A and B are shown apart, each in its own frame.
Chain A
Amino acid sequence: MKDPKLKPQLRFQINPGGWFEGGSSVEYTTNDWRLERPVINLDKCVGCLYCWIYCPEPAIIPLDREGRGPTKVEVDYDHCKGCGICAQVCPTKAIEMVREEVKV
């Protein structure tokens, strides 16, 4: 029989009042919230960074420019929740939302 007074161990330390060291959300992944993943076609991407501006997370990471030319982007799939805003705002339709495969 399970002990009703059992207090499950947390995988991280919590502080009274709920404060955390800054940047704690980096450790807290939200990738399992996602139903669809954004997939970027870098051939179509013109580096306008609309997706970077609109991403609420932010889970769009600008790639370093190599020399001249437009800045391309990649997705932080650990924190992207699959909202699809990036795909909506992309002027060149370079981002496609692809259904996540369900592992059973």
Chain B
Amino acid sequence: MCPGLSHQGHRDGQRGGEGVVELGERLEYKKMLLTGDDAVAYAVKQSRVDLVAAYPITPQTVIVERIAEFAANGEFEGEFVPVESEHSAMSACVGGALTGARVFTATASQGLALMHEILYAAASMRLPMAMAVANRALNAPLNIHNDHSDIMGSRDSGWIILFSESPEEAYDRVIQAFKISESVDLPVAVNLDAFTLTHSAEIVRMLPDEVIARFVGRPPRRPTLLDERSKSFGLMALPDTYQYFKDDHYRSMEESPPSIRRVEEEYKGISGRSYEPIKKYALEDADVVMIMLGSYAGTARMAARRMRSEGHKVGVLSLGWYRPFPKREILDAVEDADTLVVMDRALSYGAPANPLMTDIITMLYEAGMRKRIINVAYGLGGGEFTEDDARTLLEYALKEGPRREFFFYYGGRE
């Protein structure tokens, strides 16, 4: 742990009402060299979490180990429950959230798949909680490396789904996740790519404990199992009522963007770090735009930067939010582009298109925009994707070609 976090001389400006922290004259950080997993564990420790129930799975293990360590050392105030499976982890989180506690879990790959059943319960019971997903490929063949097939399998469970691109962003997004979930009564999953983020150490500008504590505050009061007057939760709803609950859940997701934006803006106030639904790089006059999720976007931005310096009009758009899908923001950003390169790190077998491609093409159709679109499946099971790989694809997209195509891009050496 870093005792230096109780910063001397830290000045956070005025305290706002309702847990709002306003930008002070000067922001102070503790610069730490942290892996993505470590960063998430620190975020949880600082966010005044009441309950962590988690089961270790590569590459999320370090998150759980670190929180267990914090708990053993008395640095973590909440309960740490070492459960026997991910199904139990999510079940314990549901139980915890029903008592009004702030809860967290983390998982990956097969672990997320095992949680699948309870993910739907947590979301449709409108329970606030945060989960870190260390995105890893699904068996078979067995593979511990990064792709997005795990979270895409849980895409329709009704969770808010956010993606991060660096250990610092994972740290920031997890802290925000608690506040987002408690303001919209939906659970939030924060994705961080296996190994490229979970096990790569980078500088994380950690905020002081007390600043985070004030930012997250305490969870707002909600109906709980512990209320004076008894309540029932997780009841059966027969055909006469089931649809009302689904309608309500669906609308809560549709109406969530302003609340998420508000939390991002408040976080900017305490950290100086700006988060938005999408990250735009060199899109203004771009002919070709590469659309991505997760950590390889940084690699693509490097390629785009070099190609821009050579006069090629290429840009990169990556999504910070995946659900709710930031339609308006993406449409505004790609309106003038001729060609989109949609990069999928998960497959949807036999579907009209892979997950991200399906979203993009639906969005364009609704807006009446027709563009050349290249859908690429890449980086599956940790498949390599270097700056040269991004360049290869961008150069390919700059040339004339079919209006629609799909291929596997293997990456790496020739």
Contacts and interface: CB of A to CB of B under 8 A. Distances in A.
A22 B233 contact: no
B254 to A, nearest CB: 14
Contacts of A10: 240-241, 244
Nearest to B185: A16
B408 interface: no
Interface of B: 124-127, 185, 223, 229-235, 237, 240-241, 244-245, 247-248, 252
Contacts of B244: 7, 10, 14
Interface in A20-36: 20-24
A20 B234 CA distance: 9
A78 B396 CA distance: 71
B231 A21 contact: yes
Given A17-B127, A18-B125, A22-B231, 5 more contacts: A14-B245, A17-B124, A19-B232, A19-B235, A20-B232
A18 B235 contact: yes
A10 B237 CA distance: 13
Q: How large is the interface on A (under 10, 10 to 19, 20 to 34, 35 or more residues)?
A: 10 to 19
B126 A24 contact: no
Interface of A: 7, 10, 14-24
Contacts of B233: 17-19
Contacts of B237: 18
Nearest to A23: B230
For the residues of B in contact with A, the DSSP-based class is: loop
Among A15, A17, A22, A23: residue with most chain B CB under 10 A: A17
Nearest to B248: A16
Contacts of A23: 230
Contact of B252 (A15, A16, A19, A24): A16
Given A10-B241, A20-B235, A24-B235, A15 B223 contact: yes
A17 B235 contact: no
A23 B231 CA distance: 8
| Interchain residue pairs A-B with the least CB separation, the first 9 | A22-B230, A17-B126, A17-B125, A19-B233, A20-B232, A16-B126, A19-B231, A18-B245, A19-B223
B225 to A, nearest CB: 9
Contacts of A17: 124-127, 185, 233, 245
Contacts of B235: 18-20, 24
Nearest to B122: A17
A22 B125 contact: no
B234 A18 contact: yes
Contacts of A20: 231-232, 235
A7 B247 CA distance: 10
B240 to A, nearest CB: 8
Nearest to B245: A18
22 contacts: A7-B244, A7-B247, A14-B244, A16-B126, A17-B125, A17-B126, A17-B185, A17-B233, A18-B125, A19-B125, A19-B231, A19-B233, A19-B235, A20-B231, A21-B229, A21-B232, A22-B229, A22-B230, A22-B231, A22-B232, A23-B230, A24-B235
B179 to A, nearest CB: 19
A10 B238 CA distance: 13
Contacts of B185: 16-17
